[in-house]
């Protein structure tokens, strides 16, 4: 059956939806950002102080490790699909589901300038969303909109992707 890899922008609901989807499917839930922080003993903003490349390297290690785990629902970092190696691992070990979100919804869910190193301004967030949209859509095997929906409803649709 394989993993369910949740991809999408920060604020798309990957962690929240992932927890519910894992419960529905009776699978473990893994959050690659949380595992990176545990493995490094540092927060994501702290890692970004050494440069995004350092964070991405730690993220890729976690993705490779997660792929070897028992079938799980895995919330990946927003930029994880920028690495072809990461994408190959995801595609080779499960189903890739994009949690689609628009800029207005991200702004409602995520405090701009908070602990999100790449979201220091609304303009930066919109730029990243536009920059990544094509990659997300190309990588995704399924696209599930999260706009105006409860996490539980989105999780039900995500769980249904396993049977598709």
CATH number of residue 153's parent domain: 3.40.50.300
- The predicted pLDDT at position 122 comes to 64
Greater confidence, 16 or 115? 16
How many domains would you assign to the chain? Answer: 1
Name the residue among 18, 36, 33, 35 with its Cα closest to residue 72.
18
Task: Identify the domain containing residue 14 by its residue range.
Answer: 3-163
7: β partners: 98
Scored b (16 or more CB within 10 A) or e, 13-28 reads bbbbbbbbbbebbebe
Greater confidence, 110 or 136? 136
Could you give the residue ranges of the DSSP H alpha helices within 110-150? 122-139
pTM above 0.85, yes or no: yes
Mean pLDDT, the chain, rounded, equals: 89
Strand ranges in 90-164 using DSSP code E only, listed in sequence order:
94-100, 142-145
């Amino acid at each position: 059956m394989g993993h369910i890899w949740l991809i999408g922008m920060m604020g798309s609901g990957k962690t929240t939806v992932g927890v519910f989807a894992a419960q529905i499917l009776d699978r473990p839930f893994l959050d690659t950002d949380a595992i990176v922080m545990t493995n490094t003993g540092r927060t994501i903003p702290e890692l970004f102080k050494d440069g995004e490349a350092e964070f991405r390297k730690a993220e890729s290690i976690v993705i490779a490790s997660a792929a070897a785990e028992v079938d799980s629902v895995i919330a990946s970092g927003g930029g994880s699909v920028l690495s072809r190696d990461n994408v190959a691992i995801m595609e080779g070990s499960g189903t890739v589901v994009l949690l689609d979100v628009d800029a207005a919804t991200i702004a409602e869910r995520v405090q701009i300038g908070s602990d999100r190193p790449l979201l220091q301004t609304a303009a930066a967030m919109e730029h990243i969303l536009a920059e990544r949209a094509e990659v997300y859509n190309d990588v995704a095997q399924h696209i599930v909109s999260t706009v105006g929906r409860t996490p539980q409803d989105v999780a039900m649709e995500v769980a249904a992707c396993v049977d598709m």
